[in-house]
Every structure is written in structure tokens, then in C-alpha cells.
């Protein structure tokens, strides 16, 4: 069976930079607290009226498509991961299809959730479609707009300082070289922890779905049990990376570059140390973009590639953990 590869990468982040000091004007926080606990220095927020999830996704996609050496018309399927769709339904996947002018072709557009693990879950889905020969050029996108759904006050400060907006895209194609491409993907979830990192409302279990008291009690904003998330993340990241290595017969020292979901610099550092990887073998950019959930892995992967940190034949490991809880990994021979 043919292998799938990442043929092109692109990302887009909004132009509006929001520093920790900017947030300290809205809530009782400080640059020192945020940097010490999360590593974040600044993040990007959309410019309302200018950026949407679909057009950020399209901007990232056009770059990835060009770098893959194809035209938008060659895309035969779209997979899009987001927890912050432009509207409740339909999903942002069809909006991206329209934005790219592909609606007349009628190609399929699959929306997935899976939060911070969305891109790696999507990569696994794309990998299956390519290997079975169902599609030739799949556009895989992670996009997120957090800034319009955060609580910028003391009640929401432990969450609102963490997240940022952005989009990352990849074109998944057949690999010409059977030794290169996606070697394995591993997907997991533990639904017993769903409420530990979630946005409860508006939810379809409530009638009506949205009521003024939900705004007052803050349940329309994300809820996070930060300590529990930390505890699980530092366990599940190394576990799922280890699973990918075992499945392919590699050891941690064989990894040339690890790109973890940019959850929190302290989590990433913990994972790096537990795998005994030197600093230069892990790429982080949470300092500049915050946590962009489904977009974080493709943005970091694209940036690392643009900086020349990924070379031909390198062993690249992607790993993610997030709400659900969900976690996933992918090992790629570049
Ligand atoms: N600024 C200043 N003080 C704050 C802020 C803030 N933004 N947020 C919380 N605090 C305060 C708290 O109110 C508390 O004050 P108190 O001691 O007077 O009660 C104090 O800081 C410590 O609060 P904790 O919640 O106990 O802080 P903790 O040390 O656990 O750090 C954090 C919080 C950074 C969220 C930590 O739990 C963590 O790193 N968790 C991992 C979660 C994570 O990174 N999630 C990323 C998103 S999910 C994902 O992508 C997987």
C-alpha cells in the first residue's frame, strides 16, 4: 500500500498582537505570572470584520497548496479541525471550500472536533484515505478563533491568558518514496474527563440552549481544571509518543524533531525531559502565538519547516493532548 506524505505546509495568524501587558489592563494578571506559568509572551487575536475562521484557513491553505506544487482545483477532499467554528452549523469545512472557490467541484468537506488533537486526528484520517487510493490531494486544516469566546476578567484569567487565534494547513499526498511519509498515527480519548476542559453552554441539552444566566454564571466561557490537565498531559504525551516509536521500531533518540501541541511551555518542557531529548530537538512557538488548539501543530510544523529545522529524511514526531480528553501522535519520515 502506498504511503501518504505532507506535500505542502502553510499558516496564517492575524496581524493584531496582544501582549501580556495588554491583558493586564483588563484583568488582575501580569507578564511575569503568564510567562512563568505558560511561557507565553504574546498571542494574535483576529481583527473583527477582517478575519474569519474560513478566510484564515483559506490563507494558510493557499500557501500550503502552492508549496505542494498543485493548484486549488487539484484538491479532492477537505478535512478541517476546529472547536470554534464560524457558525454553529454548518462546519467551517464547507466555508473553506467556498472561500477557495471549490464549491462548484462539489468535493467533500469533513469537519472534525477533537480540540487540541484535531490536526493529528485529521492527519490520521487523511493518511487512511490516501493509502487506500480514495483521494490524491487532501487539504487538512486546523483553525481557531478563541479571542471572541474568552472572559477577559479575573474570573476567566487562568484561561483567557493562554489562548490565541490562527490557522495552519497541510496538503496530504501520495509519497513517491515508499520509505518516506507518515509511518504511523495513534489516536486516543478518555471521555470520563470531558467536563474538566470544556465549554458547557450553549448546549443542546438545555432548553433554551442559551439563557442570560449562562452569561452571568460564565458557563458560555471555557472551563479548565488546570492542574488535572497538566497531570494528564505530562503523562499522555510521552505515552503516545512512546507508542508511535514502539510501533515503528524507533527510540526517542531517533527523533530529529518533536512538535508537540503548544499547550503550555511547561508541559512541553516536561515532555522533552521525560524523553531525554535535547532542547534543539523540540520546536515551540507558544511564546508568540499562545495556545491555538487545532491550529497549533500545523502552525509550529510550518514554522519549523520554514526555518529549515526539518531536513530531508528527518524523523518528525507530532503529538497532541487536549479536551475530551483526547491525545494523539504521528511519526513522519520527511
Ligand atoms: N494571572 C495571575 N494570577 C492568576 C492567573 C493569572 N492569569 N490565573 C490564575 N491565577 C492565580 C489563581 O487565582 C491562584 O491564586 P490564589 O493562590 O490566590 O488562589 C494562583 O494564581 C494559582 O492558581 P492555580 O490555578 O493553582 O495555578 P497553577 O499553578 O495551577 O497554574 C495553570 C495555572 C497555568 C493553568 C496550570 O494549572 C497549568 O499549567 N495547567 C495546564 C493547563 C494548560 O496548560 N492548559 C492549556 C490549554 S489545554 C490544552 O491545550 C491541553
Tell me, what CATH number does 28's domain have?
A: 3.40.47.10
In the structure, which protein residues have their CB atom closer than 6 angstroms to any atom of ligand 1?
29, 33, 37-38, 116, 157-158, 161-162, 197, 224, 226-227, 229-230, 233, 263-264, 266-267, 291, 321-322
Per DSSP, the residues of 296-307 read: HHHHHHHHHHHT
CA distance linking residue 118 with residue 47, whole number of Å: 24
For residues 160 and 208, membership in a common domain is answered with no
- For residue 327, give the 3-state DSSP assignment: strand
For residues 163 and 32, membership in a common domain is answered with yes
Q: Is the peptide bond before 90 cis (omega within 30 degrees of 0)?
A: yes
Which residue lies with its CA nearest to atom 8 of ligand 1? 158
Decide: 309 and 182 in contact? Cβ < 8 Å: no
For residues 199 and 235, membership in a common domain is answered with yes
φ/ψ region of 106 (left if φ > 0, alpha if ψ in -120 to 50, else beta) reads left
CA distance linking residue 175 with residue 141, whole number of Å: 19
Mean pLDDT of successive 10-residue stretches along the chain, which has 334 residues: 94 98 98 98 95 98 98 98 97 98 96 97 98 97 98 96 98 94 98 97 94 95 97 98 98 98 97 97 98 98 98 98 98 98
For residues 15 and 98, membership in a common domain is answered with yes
For residues 52 and 95, membership in a common domain is answered with yes
The three-point CA angle 58-286-266 to 5° equals 145
Which single residue is written with the C-alpha cell 478563541? 146
For residues 163 and 84, membership in a common domain is answered with yes
Report the catalytic residues.
116, 261, 291
For residues 158 and 134, membership in a common domain is answered with yes
Which residue lies with its CA nearest to atom 3 of ligand 1? 29
pLDDT at 52: 98
pTM exceeds 0.95: yes
For residues 170 and 36, membership in a common domain is answered with yes
If you measure from the C-alpha of residue 38 to the centroid of ligand 1, how many angstroms do you get, rounded to a whole number?
Answer: 9
For residues 198 and 86, membership in a common domain is answered with no
pLDDT at 204: 95
Ligand 1 atom index nearest CA of 157: 7
pLDDT at 2: 84
Domain closes at, from 150, 174, 198: 174
The three-point CA angle 163-167-171 to 5° equals 145
Domain closes at, from 174, 203, 234: 174
pLDDT at 265: 97
Which residue lies with its CA nearest to atom 36 of ligand 1? 226
For residues 199 and 272, membership in a common domain is answered with yes
For residues 165 and 23, membership in a common domain is answered with yes
Domain of 239 in residue numbering reads as: 181-333
φ/ψ region of 132 (left if φ > 0, alpha if ψ in -120 to 50, else beta) reads alpha
CA distance linking residue 141 with residue 164, whole number of Å: 16
If you measure from the C-alpha of residue 117 to the centroid of ligand 1, how many angstroms do you get, rounded to a whole number?
Answer: 21
Domain closes at, from 149, 174, 199: 174
Decide: 16 and 166 in contact? Cβ < 8 Å: no
Q: How many CA atoms lie within 13 A of 214 on its CB side?
A: 16
Burial of 34 (0-12, 13-18, 19+ CB in 10 A): buried
State the CB neighbour count (10 A cutoff) for residue 312: 7
If you measure from the C-alpha of residue 274 to the centroid of ligand 1, how many angstroms do you get, rounded to a whole number?
Answer: 22
Domain count, the chain: 2
For residues 42 and 151, membership in a common domain is answered with yes
Amino acid at each position: 500500500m502506498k504511503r501518504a506524505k505532507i506535500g505542502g505546509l502553510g499558516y496564517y495568524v492575524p496581524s493584531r498582537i496582544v501582549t501580556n501587558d495588554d491583558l493586564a489592563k483588563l484583568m488582575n494578571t501580569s507578564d511575569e505570572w503568564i510567562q512563568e506559568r505558560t511561557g507565553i509572551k504574546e498571542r494574535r487575536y483576529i481583527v473583527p470584520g477582517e478575519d474569519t475562521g474560513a478566510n484564515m484557513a483559506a490563507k494558510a491553505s493557499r500557501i500550503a497548496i502552492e508549496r505542494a506544487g498543485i493548484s486549488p482545483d487539484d484538491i479532492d477532499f477537505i478535512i478541517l479541525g476546529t472547536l470554534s467554528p464560524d457558525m454553529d452549523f454548518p462546519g467551517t469545512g464547507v466555508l473553506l471550500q467556498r472561500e477557495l472557490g471549490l464549491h462548484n467541484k462539489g468535493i467533500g468537506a469533513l469537519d472534525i472536533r477533537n480540540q487540541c488533537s484535531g490536526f493529528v486526528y485529521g492527519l490520521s484520517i487523511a493518511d487512511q484515505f490516501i493509502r487506500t487510493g480514495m483521494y490524491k490531494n487532501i487539504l487538512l486544516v486546523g483553525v481557531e478563533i478563541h479571542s471572541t469566546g474568552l472572559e477577559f476578567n479575573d474570573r476567566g484569567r487562568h484561561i483567557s491568558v493562554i489562548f490565541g487565534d490562527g490557522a495552519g494547513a497541510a496538503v496530504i499526498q501520495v509519497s513517491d518514496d515508499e520509505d518516506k511519509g507518515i509511518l504511523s498515527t495513534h489516536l486516543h480519548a478518555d471521555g470520563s474527563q470531558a467536563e474538566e476542559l470544556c465549554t458547557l453552554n450553549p448546549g443542546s441539552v438545555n432548553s433554551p440552549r442559551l439563557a442570560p444566566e449562562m452569561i452571568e454564571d460564565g458557563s458560555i466561557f471555557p472551563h479548565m481544571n488546570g492542574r488535572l490537565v497538566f497531570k494528564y498531559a505530562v503523562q499522555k504525551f510521552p505515552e503516545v509518543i512512546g507508542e508511535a516509536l514502539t510501533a515503528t521500531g524507533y527510540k526517542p533518540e531517533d527523533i530529529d524533531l518533536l512538535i508537540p501541541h503548544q499547550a503550555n511551555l511547561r508541559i512541553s518542557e516536561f515532555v522533552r525531559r521525560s524523553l531525554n531529548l535535547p532542547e534543539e530537538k523540540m520546536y515551540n512557538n507558544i511564546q508568540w502565538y499562545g495556545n491555538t488548539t487545532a491550529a497549533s501543530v500545523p502552525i509550529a510544523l510550518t514554522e519549523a519547516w520554514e526555518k529549515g529545522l526539518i531536513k530531508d529524511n528527518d524523523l518528525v514526531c507530532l503529538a497532541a493532548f487536549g479536551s475530551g480528553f483526547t491525545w494523539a501522535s504521528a511519526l513522519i519520515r520527511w
